[in-house]
Amino acid sequence: NFSATPHAPRPGQEATVEVLYWVNPDGRASDCRAERSSGYPALDKLACSLIEQRFRFRPAKDKHGKPVRAGVIENHTWVVRDQ
């Protein structure tokens, strides 16, 4: 429970992390890292852990239709809600 720690967003706040990761030919993500931190290292790490463990993609393909590794940069926003 991140909202219970002193170094986490408070209810009603948001924290956005910009991540870079690679989608491999098998559709799994790897080598995730925060390019721009949310200001909360634990949330940055959690975002990358979830991307690598749970996300699955249709990989990019080369001009011959063969799946290839491709980089992705995107923002993920955590929202802390009142309970």
Q: Give the model confidence (pLDDT) of 12-54 as tens digits.
A: 789 999 999 999 999 999 999 999 999 999 999 999 999 999 9
pTM beyond 0.95: the answer is no
Paired tokens of 30? 């790897």
Q: Report the distance separating Cα 38 and Cα 18, nearest Å.
A: 8
Q: Report the distance separating Cα 65 and Cα 45, nearest Å.
A: 33
Q: Would you state the pLDDT for residue 19?
A: 98
CA-based nearest residue to 44, from 78, 6, 73:
78
